[in-house]
Amino acid sequence: MQERVEMVHWHRSGRYSVAELAVAFGVSRKTAYKWLGRSAQGGVEGLQERSRAPQRHPNATPEPVVAAVLRAKARHPRWGPAKLQPVPQEPPEVKERWPAVSTRGAILDRHGLVARRRPRRRVAPWSQPFQQCRGPNDVWSADFKGWFRTQDGSRCDPLTVSDAFSRMLLCCQAVARPDAAHVRPVFERLFREYGLPLAIRTDNGPPFASVGAGGLSPLSAWWIKLGILPERIRPGHPEQNGRHERLHGTLKQETARPPAANARAQQRRFDAFRADYNTERPHQALGQVPPATLYVPSSRSYPGRVEGPSYPETAAVRRVRHNGEIKWHGELLFVSSALAGELVAVSETEHGWVVHFGPIALGALRPKMTRLDPLPLLMPMVDWQYWQHQQSVTYVPG
């Protein structure tokens, strides 16, 4: 800019020709004439660098399509560009020319509708022999989305249950207390409506698990009696249930920022979010279709009467007393208070004599011990699919 001003100054002095100035300032005569002409039209401001962007873009997105993208964003303010689709009322020419995801993102960015976020460091997935998720109802995920208070000060503990394959949000219900007495009726309703899954994946907290033998709680023991494998992620590794955790992030943004006025209004938000999430909101992991298009209820219906686990004839069956003990060879052995009233079995394995509830090993029997000796790996003792098939035969104690 300084050299352009000097060139104009020396040209106005009349002592140098344009050709001489071009050589002195190291530019062509065409460039020298250009800057002298711009100076004559606009003064010093005319010497500023101008944008080289074309004034017309023949391949630009038509304005009606841009307006349709903005209308779709206004309808779903928290949706990203990948999920935005034209509303049904849009004309056919707009739907035919609906832009790509990158173009939708650029349109939203130009109009100030994109919030910048710092990139997050992703944790590598943990490989563990969980139940394979090949279809709907193979694995359900259950958890509590951290509690919060509504505007009137009431505590809200939302219980969420989703299908891992289709991402179908089966339940988002605020319960009075996060314990088995209030959670079990919710699962009973889900089992009656959707049938039984093969496995339910949770964290290690109550009421899904306990510090007792096998990590079982009364709720997970009830699942086993129904032929459902309780899966628990490793402590401190929520990424092992990452699909469900990601759902919680969306749920918080849509329903709890800010919270509703009271518990009833908050539940109405949960219900509206669940309907929108399942039937309207496209899911990127599902090829931009909503979860309801892939989900079908389970073929395993909820039984009218829940029986105890069935055991092979070679196993010694014992009923757990009200204090969590069983009698073995004339001695009282503490097993688990969570299994009070349930039938457990003692089988001979490579680890010695092992007590198990259904297919889940609880611990090993050791001489002169009043409690079970924990096993190195509390994993199912038998093939889970085979055991689920055998549940059609119920053991009746003689």
| Domain limits, the chain | 2-47, 63-110, 139-293, 316-390
Q: Could you tell me if 72 and 84 are in contact, meaning their C-beta atoms sit under 8 angstroms apart?
A: yes
Specify the pLDDT at position 377. 47
Angle (CA) 26 28 30, round 5°: 145
Closest CA to 224 of 60, 81, 373, 360: 360
Give CA–CA dist 262/245, Å, rounded: 25
Q: Is 235 exposed, middle or buried (0-12, 13-18, 19+ CB in 10 A)?
A: exposed
Specify the pLDDT at position 130. 61
Class of CATH domain 139-293: alpha beta
Specify the pLDDT at position 146. 86
Specify the pLDDT at position 120. 62
Specify the pLDDT at position 398. 29
3-state secondary structure of 156: strand
Specify the pLDDT at position 378. 46
Give CA–CA dist 112/109, Å, rounded: 5
The stretches in the chain having pLDDT less than 70 are: 120-131, 351, 375-398
Specify the pLDDT at position 128. 43
Give CA–CA dist 372/168, Å, rounded: 40
Specify the pLDDT at position 159. 96
The 10s digit of each residue's pLDDT in 329-381 is 888 889 889 999 999 999 887 767 888 898 888 888 877 777 787 765 444 55
